[in-house]
Chain A
Amino acid sequence: MPGKSLEQQSVMVEQSCRRCRTNPAVLVVRTEPVCGECFSKYVHTKVIKRMESFRVRFTSPDQLRKILLPISFGISSVSLLHILDRQLQTQKSKTGRTGYSLHVIHVDTSSVEPSAPDAGLLSQLKDRYPHHIYASVPLHELFMSSADGSPSEAYKDLTEDSSLEDMPADQKLLFLIGSLPSATARADVISTLRTRLLVQCAKDLGCEGILWGDSTTRLAEKTLAETAKGRGFALPWQIGDGDSPFGLTFNYPVRDLLKKELTAYASITEPPLFPLIYEPPKTSQPAPSSKSTTIDDLMKQYFESVEENFPSIVSNVVRTTTKLEAPSTFLSEARCKLCNMPVADGRFGIHGWGGDQEDGLDISGKPSRELCYGCTRSVPPTVTLSQGVK
């Protein structure tokens, strides 16, 4: 509901803004009553501070720095686009040029995610922020054969079976997702493939990095969800700013803003951002079964409640996790064939550690696949792309 959270947080007693001490406060930000104007400023400052390295003065006039901005039509990514659009306009009006240019990419997952947003929203975005380059890319593009007919890297990574090579890419994707054992596994693999496709797009477009729209709340969800999926080893690259293992930089400029703050922000912009934002249909079934609930859903609901009363704890989860250090040797480590993350000492799969369930049992015929622990949980050895039948 647009503006709902703003009303919820509205100040009951007439108070003046704690910041400008002039305008009446309209909402409370981290215990401080502020007016709309000061709140906007607060949101912008939080994001722009994280965009320090993209200032005009760090770019020579003949240099064209391109960055990819993935758009999911969620509140965070749309707000980020809105703020960056303003930053670019300000840069232009002040210096006559910009520090960077944006490629706004939407990955269309509608073939495998029934609740995916309508890719048509992209044209509305384009109308409102016309100065950037937009594209919608279907997720199965990852499995498209190259011009000379050879199978895509991602497809080769995932199967050695060539019998399905001629199958259209969208069918390959459907087969893979359809063969996964649970909703958690499907959501996990879809988001893994999405990241992989965005990295590929960024490289194809000559972008130096990706600006992810994750809010503080989203990053906290991700921290616990990835931990629960056995992907703790990859957290430094999923939460931290800077060099990713993919030869691009990853940055999270919205990392200092809570989801509820962005919700409030999206309703006070002029005009509000809500028409551009896609809200997935509320899955308010009385008791969702364990079949339809995913680990991501659990963490999302959990942090929505924590954020309400303990916002600083949410921020602290993210701040703390950001301190995890990627091992210095990561560039030389073997990579997972699905998520492409570096796997320390090539410890693929779910075996060969203290908590190995199969040890002491007969595990003959164990396929040796180069998938990390987390990917192996989602794509167990019984699943292969070539036999992925629903």
Chain B
Amino acid sequence: MPPSPCAICKTNRALILRPKNHQKLCKPCFLSVFESEIHHTITTNNLFHRGERIAIGASGGKDSTVLASVLKTLNERYDYGVELILLSIDEGIKGYRDDSLETVKRNAQQYNMPLTILGYSELYGWTMDQVVEQVGKKGNCTYCGVFRRQALDRGAARLGVKHVVTGHNADDVAETVLMNLLRGDLPRLSRTTSIITSTPSAALANPSSSSPSSPPSHTNIKRSKPLKYAYEKEIVLYAHHKNLDYFSTECIYSPEAFRGSARALIKNLERVRPSAILDVVRSGEDMARLVPGSDEGCGGGCESQGGNGGQIPVAEEEDGGCGSSGGRTVGGDMAAVERQLALNENAQENGLEVEIRTVGVKSQGCERSDSLRSDVVSLVNGKSGQRVKGQAFTPRKTPQRQVMGQCKRCGYLSSQEICKACVLLEGLNKNRPKNQIEVDGHGQEEANEAVDAIEVGLQQVKIEGI
């Protein structure tokens, strides 16, 4: 093939096939278009304002490293006037973070940004290793997932920072849109497509977190995703061509089946039509406006609101990205949801109601409190076993709108009186013997087989890359 000129400058030789739209670009034009798109995302959504201190959630991985690099570049180029700092969380798993934290430390020097590393021990009084010692290997994923979700906000509060940016990219958001469709969770679909999320008092006009009687101040942390429209493949390309120093590691957790399944779909979709990732994100934003009662669900695409408009409270939820799913056992969640849905269907068919005994859910912190409130009833972590009995009970007539409040203990946004982390901590602190988290071995096996079957199904349509 004859060398083709760059589609933008028409001068240099094109070296890069742009994953987003298959444009042929030279290296400088690729770097510049990548940066200018993120600049566009930041300015049209009014993500930053002058004088703001912003913590970059830094894991040493490609997404957060590229985020730090690009934000530094743009802050200097366009004079945003923001102060950028790096915030890393150390879960306290011996050896697990060593390399990535070393990377973050080098990044701090390379970008001349102050770095704070906060451990779970400082944030929660427990390292993950200690949690594992207490509850055993099987149950620790719940803790890790719940703790991880709050860690950045808690950490930011300690630093007196009110805005945390994370490296969630377009692939993560698209994956989350499909996953929430598969899980049947419209409220969460609506929240996670938003580019800015915030805990409730930040969404309120005038947070008074300084009053001494109020809970600790990590209630008003704004979160945003400047890479929301950036393709994972382009992030990798950018890191490569800028020679960025990042720590490349696969997540040690296997994603739960809903997410894994959505991820496989996204990869296949991207092969069939490169714009599909962006198109799913767009659909997600549009659908967020159609979710009943979600007048604020503008999904970040709503430019008329501008400013702080369109901020959507974020719950203790996974909003995409590796690790945030907390590493559940493969297939467990799908099988559990399936069992519960099937029971509900049968009950409706027969005019009976089923009792949903959420044994263990309360004491261990419910992973899926949102779902429990909607008509999708799932049990914690796919470990429902056979806890469901066909007895009469008064069901919730209609799916309730989720009411978000603050945890009475720590003030974190929660749909329950006490947030998941505090519930878990209470359990840990009571120093009970081994927690009763059991996996129904048989059901798990079936679930794994079923998920395998789906993966086979997907492989059948596996198509050649470009």
Which A residues fall within an 8 A CB radius of B?
30-32, 182, 184, 223-224, 226-233, 235-236, 287-290, 293-295, 297-299, 301-302, 304-306, 308-313, 315-317, 319-321, 323-327, 344, 353-357, 359-361, 373-374, 377
18 cross-chain CB contacts under 8 A: A227-B181, A228-B276, A228-B280, A289-B463, A290-B272, A293-B272, A305-B456, A305-B457, A305-B458, A312-B341, A317-B181, A325-B290, A353-B285, A353-B303, A354-B228, A355-B229, A360-B40, A374-B279
Contact B463 A321 (CB under 8 A): no
Given pairs A324-B291, A360-B37, 14 additional interface contacts (CB within 8 A): A31-B342, A224-B265, A233-B287, A235-B287, A235-B290, A297-B461, A301-B457, A302-B458, A310-B334, A312-B337, A317-B181, A323-B292, A325-B291, A373-B282
A164 CB to closest chain B CB (Å) equals 28
Question: Are B181's CB and A298's CB within 8 A?
Answer: no
Q: Name the interface residues of B162-190: CB closer than 8 Å to any CB of A.
A: 170, 177-178, 181-182, 184-186
Residues of chain B within 8 A of A320, CB atoms compared: 181, 184-186, 376
A349 to B75, CA, bound (A): 31
> Given A353-B282, A354-B285, does the pair A290, B463 have CB atoms closer than 8 Å?
yes
Give the most central of A32, A227, A295, A308: most B CB within 10 Å: A227
The answer on a CB contact under 8 Å between B341 and A290 is no
- Docked Cα-Cα span, A356 to B281, in Å, equals 11
Do the beta carbons of A294 and B272 come within 8 Å of each other?
yes
Q: What separation, in Å, do the CA atoms of A72 and B289 have in the docked complex?
A: 33
A312 touches B453 (CB 8 A): no
Complex contact B450–A310 (CB within 8 A): yes
Tally B residues with Cβ within 8 Å of A. 73
A295–B269 CB distance below 8 A: yes
- Say yes or no: B282 contacts A305, CB within 8 Å: no
Chain A proximity mask over B1-13: 1 for CB below 8 Å, otherwise 0? 0000000100000
Complex Cα spacing A373 to B301, Å: 13
Residue B402 lies at the interface, judged by CB distance under 8 Å to chain A: no
Q: How far is the CB of B123 from chain A (nearest CB, A)?
A: 32
B102 within 8 A of A: no
The listed residue (A294, A306, A323) touching B186 by CB distance below 8 A is A323
B280 touches A309 (CB 8 A): no
Given A224-B265, A294-B272, A354-B41; A316-B287 close (CB under 8 Å): no
User: Helix, strand, loop or mixed for chain A's interface?
Assistant: helix
- Residues of the B chain whose Cβ atoms lie less than 8 Å from the Cβ of A326: 290
> Does B129 count as interface, using CB distance less than 8 angstroms?
no
- Asked if residues A319 and B184 are in contact (CB atoms below 8 Å), the reply is yes
Partner of B337, one of A30, A228, A230, A313: A313
Q: Are A312 and B338 in contact (CB under 8 A)?
A: yes
- Choose from B283, B301, B338, B466 the contact partner of A290 (Cβ within 8 Å): B466
- Given A30-B342, A309-B450, CB of A233 within 8 Å of CB of B283: yes
CA distance A115 to B275 in the complex (A): 27
Interface residue? B192 (CB, 8 A): no
Known interface pairs A230-B279, A316-B376. Does A353 touch B342 (Cβ–Cβ under 8 Å)? no
Collect the chain A residues with CB atoms within 8 Å of residue B436's CB. none
Quote the shortest CB–CB distance from B285 to chain A (angstroms): 7
B454 within 8 A of A: yes
CB-CB nearest in chain A for B8: A361
A289 vs B337: C-alpha distance when bound (angstroms): 34
A313 vs B376: C-alpha distance in the bound complex, in angstroms?
10
- Which of A293, A295, A354 counts the most B-chain CB atoms under 10 A from its CB? A354
Chain A residues whose CB sits within 8 angstroms of the CB of B286 once the complex forms:
232-233, 344, 373
Known interface pairs A294-B272, A354-B45; A287-B287 also in contact (CB < 8 Å): no
B36 within 8 A of A: yes
Could you tell me if B464 and A287 are in contact, using CB atoms closer than 8 angstroms?
yes
A31, B350: Cα distance in complex, Å: 14
Cβ of B290 and Cβ of A324 under 8 Å apart?
yes
A184, A232, A304, A355: most-surrounded residue (chain B CB, <10 A)? A355
In the complex, whether B201 has a CB less than 8 A from a CB of chain A is no
Among A293, A312, A323, which residue has its beta carbon within 8 angstroms of that of B463? A293
Distance (whole angstroms) from the CB of A151 to the closest CB of chain B: 31
B387 contacts partner chain A, Cβ-Cβ < 8 Å: no
Q: Within 8 Å CB of B464, what residues of A?
A: 287, 289-290
Contact residues in B for A315 (Cβ distance below 8 Å): 341, 345
Chain A residues near B8 (CB, 8 Å)? 361
- For the complex, give the distance between the alpha carbons of A327 and B337 in Å: 30
Residue of B nearest to A231 (CB): B283
A residues near B36, Cβ cutoff 8 Å: 360-361
Write out the residue numbers on chain B whose beta carbons fall within 8 Å of the beta carbon of A290: 271-272, 463-466
Instruction: Name the CB-closest residue of A to B174.
Output: A228
